[in-house]
Amino acid sequence: MEKLKAAFADRRERSGFLLAAPAFLFLVALFIVPSFLLFIASFWQFDNATIVPTFTLSNYLEALSRRAVLYSTLTALKIGFWSGLISTVLSFPVAWYIAFKTRSNVLLYLVLLSWFSSYLVRIFAWRTILGTQGIINSALMSAGLIDKPLEFLIFSPLAVIVTLVHIFVPFTLLLLLSALRNVTPDHLDACRDLGGTRFDILRKVVFPIAYKGIIGSFLFTFILSAGDFITPQLLGGRSGMTVGFMISNEFRVSGNWPAGAAMAILLLIVFLAASALTTRLFRLLRLAPGVRYHPLQNPASASRR
Amino acid sequence: MLRIYVWGYLAFLAFPILIITLFAFHASPALTFPFEGVSLRWFADLWADPNFVSAFKNSVIVATVASILTSILGTMVALALIRLSPKPRAALSFISFAPIALPGLFIGASLLVLFDRLGIYRSLVTVILAHTLFCLPFFVEAVRSRVAYFDLDLELAARDLGATRWQAFRLVTLPLLLPTIIGGAILSFALSFDEIIITVFVVGEQSTLPFYILSLLRRTVTPLINAASVLAIIFTLLVLMLAGTVLWWQARREKSARIGEGVVG
């Protein structure tokens, strides 16, 4: 009998591998191999408008020494940070409301519906609203509050951040909601019964349970916003130029892939560092479960208390 | 208090889209208030533009093929995930999720290099391949939680009763998972129909609808963009509603079939 069961498990496993094979090959061919190729291309040379597959570090040295690269990276990180933070903070109360205060799913469906209105449409919508002859400026001018249009509304990092927040808010809501679903009303009641304030509930119960979703929603938005190159191109103006836009230009306009590839790899390293830093910061602020919550598994920290 | 905030949040989400829709029907090219009357002239202009019509057609083709490919590959991945032991399962779910953890910029650029090195011309085919790569993680994530509830012993029972592997899949597994798969396919269609970030790297001479809108956006501010946007939104909504109707109709038919069998038995 045991033998038969093992035979079944074995066959099940084998059919699992067979089922996974086509998608696995597809992902290897169109994701793993190209990613390596991009890495390798970052060491190639661009000479007289042709690409020479050799090995050189000059693309990296060049990228690291250019001021424009540094500034546009900082702009990208700034845009990513604020977009991630604002969309997470904006969605948190709504996720809370859906998780604990209502039983209907109508709200969720309404938010999802807005997700299906295209990315470019939103960019154009914000251009219509924030533009120099846009809705806000023309309303303010006809009300006599300002004499000439507020220039900073459009073609600035501000316009990019507003638009990206609008684009990513549905995503953050979904991620936060699935994280908050792990917190049961019993958890909240227990904290209240033990005399916890609202702040305690948030800091000592909700964050340690839902921290993965909270960090995830911030990092997801941060990385996708900082890596975006179409919104900055259309709404960022001079001051809102991001490194993503420079990278896409190297690939699509100047044809200098090695330079673009090197910048892309550097940006990837920055993203990885930023992700590690965020997780670290949550631990330091004691908002994520660290050693403190598991004293038994870590006798050193238990004895310290 | 929280309730008011939630309404504000919804208003923030809806406001820009309402503005776009409103000005798509504006009689004058101005994109500001006061509103000067309603007209359909921008839609007529769009329809007269062969570039728009072909871009729209291309987008429908790309989204259809990409969502079918995604559904086949994604369903197989989901079915594999419930069969595999923990280690290969973790590896498979990692690799099938990884493409959306990276910004589209990286995917697009690396595909551009790949296609060029292989000497593949950029066309709708490359767009379809790229979109399938982009949609697959979403499909797997959307479908896997449902597939996790699927009882593999049902397939075993069918096999025990003499069904071949293919029969067990077609008569037992597929009907049970079909609503989930259709849901994932519609999601993929909508994602592909809207994709632009990866598309700009792999698109050839034949444009897609978002690429057409992007080229308009770069040139001028024209209500044509509003009209194109509104058409894109309406089309996506129609597809979603169609899917909803199909699922509802199927559920009803199944229910009546079951009741019918009950009477006979």
Q: How would DSSP label each residue in A159-218?
A: HHHHHHHHHHHHHHHHHHHHHHTTS-HHHHHHHHHTT--HHHIIIIIIHHHHHHHHHHHH
The C-alpha of B255 sits at a distance from chain A's nearest C-alpha, in angstroms, of 24
Three-state SS at A51: strand
For the domain made up of A74-246, give the CATH fold: MetI-like fold (1.10.3720)
Helix residue ranges, H only, A97-156? 106-115, 119-130, 135-142
Give yes or no for A12 touching B (CB within 8 A). Answer: yes
The class level of CATH for B56-253 reads mainly alpha
**Nearest residue to A135 via CA among B26, B219, B4:** B26
Nearest CA in chain A to B10: A111
What pLDDT score was predicted for residue A90?
A: 95
What pLDDT score was predicted for residue B260?
A: 57
Average pLDDT taken over every residue of chain A: 84
Q: What is the pLDDT of residues A166-177, one digit of tens each?
A: 999 998 998 898
The C-alpha of B33 sits at a distance from chain A's nearest C-alpha, in angstroms, of 7
Domain borders along chain A are 74-246
Give residue A54's pLDDT band: very low, low, confident or very high (50, 70, 90).
confident
Nearest CA in chain A to B156: A8
User: So what's the ipTM on this one?
Assistant: 0.86
Could you give phi then psi for residue A231, rounded to 5 degrees? -60, -50
Distance CA A218, CA A223 (A): 9
With tokens 């991945």, the residue in question is B77
Nearest CA in chain B to A80: B103
Give yes or no for A37 touching B (CB within 8 A). Answer: yes
Contact assignment for A257 to B85 by CB distance below 8 Å: no
Distance CA A257, CA A47 (A): 11
Interface test with B, best of A116, A135, A246 (most B CBs within 10 A): A116
Which of B72, B111, B214 comes nearest A34 by C-beta?
B111
**Residue A271, pLDDT above cutoff 90:** yes
**Residue B38, pLDDT above cutoff 60:** yes
Q: What is the pLDDT of residues B148-165, one digit of tens each?
A: 777 778 888 888 888 888
What pLDDT score was predicted for residue B9?
A: 92
What pLDDT score was predicted for residue B124?
A: 93
**Nearest residue to A22 via CA among B132, B106, B23:** B132
Give yes or no for A118 touching B (CB within 8 A). Answer: yes
Nearest CA in chain A to B191: A116
For chain B, give the percent of residues with pLDDT over 70.
92
* Start-end of CATH 1.10.3720.10 domains in chain B: 56-253
**Residue B258, pLDDT above cutoff 80:** no
Question: Does the CA dihedral B77-B79-B85-B90 come out positive or negative?
Answer: positive
Give residue B235's pLDDT band: very low, low, confident or very high (50, 70, 90).
confident
- Report the pLDDT averaged over residues A281-304: 57
Q: Which of A55-69, A100-114, A244-258, B180-194 has the lowest mean pLDDT?
A: A100-114
Within the 199-258 window of chain A, which residues sit less than 8 Å (CB to CB) from chain B? 220, 223-224, 226-230, 234, 244, 247-248, 251-252, 257
